[in-house]
Structure 1
Amino acid sequence: MASNAFPPQLKVPATYMRGGTSKGVFFNLGDLPPAAQVPGEARDRLLLRVIGSPDPYGKQIDGMGGATSSTSKTVIVSKSDKPDHDVDYLFGQVSIDQPFVDWSGNCGNLTAAVGPFAIHAGLIPPGRLPQNGIATVRIWQANIGQTLLVHVPMKDGQVQESGDFALDGVTFAAAEIRVDFMAPGEGALFPTGNLVNVLEVPGLGTINATLINAGIPTIFVNAECLGLAGTELQDDINNQADTLAMFEQIRACGAVKMGLIARPEDAARRQHTPKVAFVAGPASYTASGGQPVGANDVDLLVRALSMGKLHHAMMGTAAVAIAAAACVPGTLVNLAAGGGDRESVSFGHPSGTLKVGAQARHTAEGWQVERASMSRSARILMEGWVRVPAGTLP
């Protein structure tokens, strides 16, 4: 066949970064091919091919993805034209085995990497960056229309990436990055107006659920009502097809109740949101890395599913939802933590523990969360160009 039938690959500037317990491919909007600089088919096709999806083998061998929801992610960053914001941040969750990119929510873990990326990419005015100290990068989260503040440590005019901050679910220590989610709810904090709702789930029956919209729309249910303990690790859930199907039924029913979709069957085209999680009171267990977690180390246990699988640690946005729900007396999360008023909570997840905080108040319009905070870390893993076949773009 003629050689011109196989033109050279496209070469796109990109940075591969870890943020929290996730990894993703980061792009400066202006570096994308012109057709992919606007939302639509060209952008989605480019990101799918970069990550290596759709892959019926579920491995993403021919792309940058790591065959898990935590590593099948893309980020687009650009200078912001919004007052008091430095950059706009757009997150794309790439399906592993289906040909679509889900733009319906944020990634809280990768949020921690957006600040350092923006500084490395020259998107922050030099006058806003201290030689030594903390640079606060003001981010507009374009998927959900919210403000995020990422506090990046600086040393000798450069982003400090090394440090002694340990994050369960990440093997090596790094510099601590605090992330503030400002007014993290999109619309009503509790979309149904209730702290606890009744869901009719086919094949399961009637269960109680807390449906909250903070960080990311999340459905919380009690582990006990599902025949679970709350101490489960990934293999305990992800190797059980019936259990995964049950959680997808819960997710679909909760999404309808929250007004996110019209019919349960629509959930298949909205894999990234909402999340579904199960909670239990404190108990001792051994985390996936082998370290013991004592019942006295945590206020409650939480396990969450992402893209149809139990997450190996905890999604950052789901941690915001946990913080918000824990700080509102009467939710299932708050009750699992012992009830009452609180401004922070420590919870156990499959990889260890995490402490998150939130400031919630009750107003005439209902409950509102003013801010949720957590600590993460981030670093550049590789930078340069990512290549995709020339026929990727339409």
Structure 2
Amino acid sequence: MPAPQIKIPATYMRGGTSKGVFFRLQDLPERARAPGPARDALLMRVIGSPDPYGKQTDGMGGATSSTSKVVILSKSTRPGHDVDYLFGQVAIDSAFIDWSGNCGNLSAAVGPFAIAAGLVDAARLPAEGTCTVRIWQANIGKTIVAHVPMADGQVQETGDFELDGVTFPAAEVPLEFLDPAEEGEGGAMFPTGRVVDPLDVPGVGRFAATLINAGIPTIFLNAADLGYTGTELQPAINGDAAALARFEAIRAWGAVRMGLIRDVAEAATRQHTPKVAFVAPPQDYVASSGKAVRAADVDLLVRALSMGKLHHAMMGTAAVAIGTAAAIPGTLVNLAAGGGERRAVRFGHPSGLLRVGAEARQVDGPAGPQWQVTKALMSRSARVLMEGWVRVPGDCF
């Protein structure tokens, strides 16, 4: 006889332009509290993957990279931190969860969830004002500081902060990504030691590229080198199978060049990172919502791919990479924005505009002066969509 369904406490949340299912670690079944096949199988079943139809109809996923996500939170034992945050990017049509990177958008929902779930000490919660939540991002070993608005001792979710790519306004949640470009898995901020490199991609071509570890490993290219203008929306890329294959080849060879994988064949098991993005100088265009974006209102245009498709707006971690690269003279992002030193950029993406800041300075290094970024800053919003339990067959993991 088939095993009956079990129910697990969970919260379905929007953070930035993404959605995901949030869990407290202590609420997961015991054999899914540690990393491994049981945890992955459980979370894939929650989301509805793998789904050969690509719809995730039998799960909580929304059949896009922005809505096929899971988050596990626990009270932090790390000094100076409130909560440990683990993010999983769930593949849609294959049995795979990528734990190699962060989700910057869902980072905005971590603080609000942690407060509501009792993971932040009650003595630290103001009745009114702002609660500062220090988050340990366990995937990449970084600190994120969320400034969560409070009212009547509860998280304030409603407000008038508008975020392009999200239909309705909500309360603003400012985020600080501390030391986003510290040396980590992929090495230094610029793994090759240069701000621009030639990237040879067999069968595709040779491109100028900025390879950067900041927020999330990212490969930046010039739109013009790819035959694009930088004003493209999702249908122009996602409806072109040849273009998607070309971008995947660029991503795989870029990952090798960045030291993230040893062979291009490994790219299939690391779908979440690195990201690929292309940049262009400001131009007028019409966003996916029908909103007119004027060249005068942006410093540059950026389009980025996530999980093999052009993102409908901009990944939060890629925005950190954009802000960091824009602050460092000579990168392709900086040059597209007009060059020079800058502390913030406003860029156009498929859904509209986004502003991101970064604090960069030159310091003495073993090989001479090098750039160091102390923090990247941006604002997002977050909201609980549903809370209660998710149900899955008891023998699915």
- Shorter-chain TM-score above 0.5: yes
Matched, 1:383 2:387: yes
Query: What SS is found at the alignment partner of 2:77?
Result: coil
Match 1:79 to one of 69, 75, 80: 75
Deviates more, 1:30-39 or 1:198-207: 198-207
Unaligned runs of 5+ in 1: none
Give 1:62's aligned residue.
Answer: 58
Per-residue deviation, residues 95-151 of structure 1 (Å, max 9, x unmatched): 001101100000000000000000010111111111000001000000000000000
| Per-residue deviation, 1:11 | 0.6
Whether the aligned pair in 2 keeps the contact of 1:144 and 1:186 (CA below 8 Å) is: no
The AA in structure 1 aligned to 2:163 is L
Q: CA RMSD in A?
A: 0.6
Q: Taking structure 2 as the reference length, what is the TM-score of the superposition?
A: 0.97
The AA in structure 2 aligned to 1:108 is G
- Correspondence list, 1:95-174, <5 A: 95-174=91-170
| Per-residue deviation, 1:204 | 2.3
Query: What SS is found at the alignment partner of 2:395?
Result: helix
Query: What SS is found at the alignment partner of 2:70?
Result: strand
Query: What SS is found at the alignment partner of 1:392?
Result: coil
Per-residue deviation, residues 225-256 of structure 1 (Å, max 9, x unmatched): 00000000000100000111111111011100
The AA in structure 1 aligned to 2:17 is T
In structure 2, how many angstroms separate the alpha carbons of the residues matched to 1:181 and 1:169?
21
**What is the percentage of aligned positions where both structures have the same residue?**
71
In structure 1, how many angstroms separate the alpha carbons of the residues matched to 2:133 and 2:356?
20
The AA in structure 1 aligned to 2:63 is A
Unaligned runs of 5+ in 2: none
Whether the aligned pair in 2 keeps the contact of 1:135 and 1:151 (CA below 8 Å) is: yes
The AA in structure 2 aligned to 1:388 is V
Query: What SS is found at the alignment partner of 2:13?
Result: strand
Give 2:270's aligned residue.
Answer: 270
In structure 2, how many angstroms separate the alpha carbons of the residues matched to 1:16 and 1:186?
32
Matched, 1:392 2:396: yes
In structure 2, how many angstroms separate the alpha carbons of the residues matched to 1:362 and 1:236?
39
In structure 1, how many angstroms separate the alpha carbons of the residues matched to 2:22 and 2:70?
6
In structure 1, how many angstroms separate the alpha carbons of the residues matched to 2:28 and 2:119?
15
Per-residue deviation, residues 157-184 of structure 1 (Å, max 9, x unmatched): 0100000000000000000000100001
| Per-residue deviation, 1:30 | 0.1
Count residues in correspondence.
389
Give 1:23's aligned residue.
Answer: 19
- Correspondence list, 1:218-367, <5 A: 218-365=218-365, 366-367=370-371
In structure 2, how many angstroms separate the alpha carbons of the residues matched to 1:43 and 1:254?
30
In structure 2, how many angstroms separate the alpha carbons of the residues matched to 1:344 and 1:67?
33
| Per-residue deviation, 1:186 | 4.1
Give 1:212's aligned residue.
Answer: 212
In structure 2, how many angstroms separate the alpha carbons of the residues matched to 1:272 and 1:91?
11
In structure 2, how many angstroms separate the alpha carbons of the residues matched to 1:202 and 1:246?
10
Deviates more, 1:214-223 or 1:358-367: 358-367
The AA in structure 2 aligned to 1:351 is S
Q: Taking structure 1 as the reference length, what is the TM-score of the superposition?
A: 0.98
Per-residue deviation, residues 263-297 of structure 1 (Å, max 9, x unmatched): 11211110000000000000000000000000001
In structure 1, how many angstroms separate the alpha carbons of the residues matched to 2:193 and 2:158?
44
Give 1:176's aligned residue.
Answer: 172
Give 1:189's aligned residue.
Answer: 189
Query: What SS is found at the alignment partner of 1:382?
Result: strand
